[in-house]
Structure 1
Amino acid sequence: MSQVKRFAMNTVGRDFAVGDIHGHFTRLQSALDAAGFDPAADRLFSVGDLVDRGPESLDVDEWILRKPWFHAVRGNHEQMTVDSHTAGRTSDQCGMHFINGGAWFYGLSSVEQDCYASILEDLPLAIEVETAQGLIGIVHADVPRGSWYEMLKALAGPAAEADHTAAMLQWSRKRITDEDHSGVNGVRAVIVGHTPLRQPAVLGNVYHIDTAGWMDGHFTLVNLATLECIPPLNPKLHWDWEARA
């Protein structure tokens, strides 16, 4: 399992990122259709949390394995699925996953659970995408360092440091709760999700794009070349957020 996956520049089409999906792939497809997404040329990068809460979590294998233009990092909900499967049905991890939308997983046979857990565990913790304007980094929640390079170094470091860094990549809300505009050096922009917002929040060069398309909001797509949002940002609307696991 590679912790970081790297993608060369897309020279034939557009690259987009999207926020948390949470088992709402039909809604996501509608957003892609509205943006004129071309699967023959374009690519879609997900900030993770593909599963749980929505009615279509079982479709995650179809998107990961059979759509060569779709790429995702491993969010905290994928990690909860993997951890609870490893720990067993009577574990605390299993209980936490279940109450946070993981019921879909526990109705599966042991063979099916093995398959889904393996698919989700293979997802990287970070993605890098080259663009003509510079490198774009994608993680689920936050970069817990002031530079992308230092984060990568910590992720490849001693076990305790690597585990702490991985947990922050998947769970941290510190940047957005502190309204920290300091940004992340070494990349043009970082795209994250994890925290549901009324509209995207841009803090320094960190774009928070979970606009609750899986709940009562909408899916936001970010063009990685231009960093423009679809739908566009509304300057009159604040990005109020609601903490959820």
Structure 2
Amino acid sequence: MATYAIGDIQGCYEPLRRLLDLIRFDPAHDRLWVVGDLVNRGPESLMVLRYLHELGSAATVVLGNHDLYLLMVAAGVERRDKDDTLYQVLEAPDRDVLLDWLARQPLLHVEGDHAMVHAGLLPVWTITRAQELAAEVSAALTGPDARHFLLHLAGNRPDRWADNLKGWDRLRVIVNAMTRMRFCTPHGHLALRAKGPPDEAPAGTLPWFRAPDRFHRTHTIVCGHWSALGYYRGDGIIALDSGCVWGGKLTAFRLEDGEVFQVQG
């Protein structure tokens, strides 16, 4: 049995299947960890969702910002971006089944000494605290007020965490950190507009995983989201977004021994 963590798929079903062939993935014995952004930009989001849904317990998925965008569009609370590629999902006969499954995926998965999240964790959060906060979002996303939650999800404010935050502001900061963050200050102020490589950090910020005295150093963080960072291992992080949808590569990392597998997008 092996566990393979896979970077942002973003609707690139054909490279995904080539990567699974390369690693000889067997769902009867192996497991996939998928770091989020299953959909959008690539041409086959529907096929990706169907495949991962059918894998059942062989696939462990966390939500990315593009996955949440799909849920927002499907709920009618977000206008379609002219560049999105979600029409196949939104018009599929099994859309409700797939969207319900997607909404039930967590923001954070912790197992052994690894924690998987799409973007990152604020330096002031321990793993236990991050699990609690991710559970708050999951409860909102699957509860009776899910549409209202999605309606209030977009936005960059507040731009820092505080324990006394409440309501939609509280949930928005959690989601923004776990699905959108690249740079922050050592004290956890988010710089969400910055999307460049690590050496282009806005003044006063640094890549989230280089913040000193991070409380979540107890675990290695497995993540994606940051194509300008690419595949990166170090500083208590395994980053796997190697830009498949932009013509880069799709990356798999075997947790048991650290071997890396890649296919061209």
Q: Which of 69, 79, 85 lines up with 2:68 in the alignment? A: 79
| Equivalent AA in structure 1 for residue 24 of structure 2 | G
Further displaced range: 184-193 or 24-33: 184-193
Further displaced range: 55-64 or 203-212: 55-64
Give the distance between the partners of 1:184 and 1:207, measured in 2 at CA: 17
| Aligned equivalent of 1:65 | 53
Q: Which of 73, 79, 88 lines up with 1:94 in the alignment? A: 79
Superposed CA RMSD: 2.5
Deviation at 1:230, TM superposition (A): 2.3
C-alpha offsets along residues 202-240 of structure 1, whole Å, 9 cap, x if unaligned?
Answer: 351122210122331111111112334225xxxxxxxxx
| Aligned equivalent of 2:183 | 174
C-alpha offsets along residues 180-220 of structure 1, whole Å, 9 cap, x if unaligned?
Answer: 42456254311111121474123511222101223311111
For residue 16 of structure 1, give the secondary structure of its aligned residue in structure 2.
Answer: strand
1:44 equivalent in alignment to 2:32: yes
Give the distance between the partners of 2:171 and 2:229, measured in 1 at CA: 32
For residue 120 of structure 1, give the secondary structure of its aligned residue in structure 2.
Answer: helix
Is contact 2:45-2:85 (8 Å) kept? no
Deviation at 1:31, TM superposition (A): 1.1
Structure-to-structure mapping, 1:15-26, within 5 angstroms: 15-26=3-14
Is contact 2:108-2:134 (8 Å) kept? no
For residue 86 of structure 2, give the secondary structure of its aligned residue in structure 1.
Answer: helix
Q: Which of 200, 211, 214 lines up with 2:231 in the alignment? A: 200
Deviation at 1:20, TM superposition (A): 0.5
CA gap of 1:14–1:166, structure 2 versus 1, over 3 A, is same
| Equivalent AA in structure 2 for residue 83 of structure 1 | M
CA gap of 1:205–1:184, structure 2 versus 1, over 3 A, is farther
Give the distance between the partners of 2:99 and 2:243, measured in 1 at CA: 24
C-alpha offsets along residues 21-65 of structure 1, whole Å, 9 cap, x if unaligned?
Answer: 011122112112212323221101100111112221111342232
Number of equivalences: 208
| Aligned equivalent of 1:8 | none
| Aligned equivalent of 1:237 | none
For residue 167 of structure 1, give the secondary structure of its aligned residue in structure 2.
Answer: helix
Deviation at 1:148, TM superposition (A): 1.7
1:116 equivalent in alignment to 2:98: yes
Is contact 1:220-1:229 (8 Å) kept? yes
Give the distance between the partners of 2:20 and 2:52, measured in 1 at CA: 16
Give the distance between the partners of 1:145 and 1:165, measured in 2 at CA: 13
TM-score by length of 2: 0.69
Structure 2 residue runs without a partner (length 5+): 137-165, 185-197
Is contact 2:35-2:223 (8 Å) kept? yes
Give the distance between the partners of 1:198 and 1:144, measured in 2 at CA: 18
1:222 equivalent in alignment to 2:247: no
| Aligned equivalent of 1:7 | none
Is contact 1:141-1:173 (8 Å) kept? yes
Further displaced range: 116-125 or 177-186: 177-186
1:125 equivalent in alignment to 2:107: yes
Is contact 2:231-2:241 (8 Å) kept? yes
Give the distance between the partners of 2:105 and 2:135, measured in 1 at CA: 16
CA gap of 1:127–1:156, structure 2 versus 1, over 3 A, is closer
Is contact 2:217-2:236 (8 Å) kept? no
Give the distance between the partners of 2:135 and 2:103, measured in 1 at CA: 17
| Equivalent AA in structure 1 for residue 256 of structure 2 | A
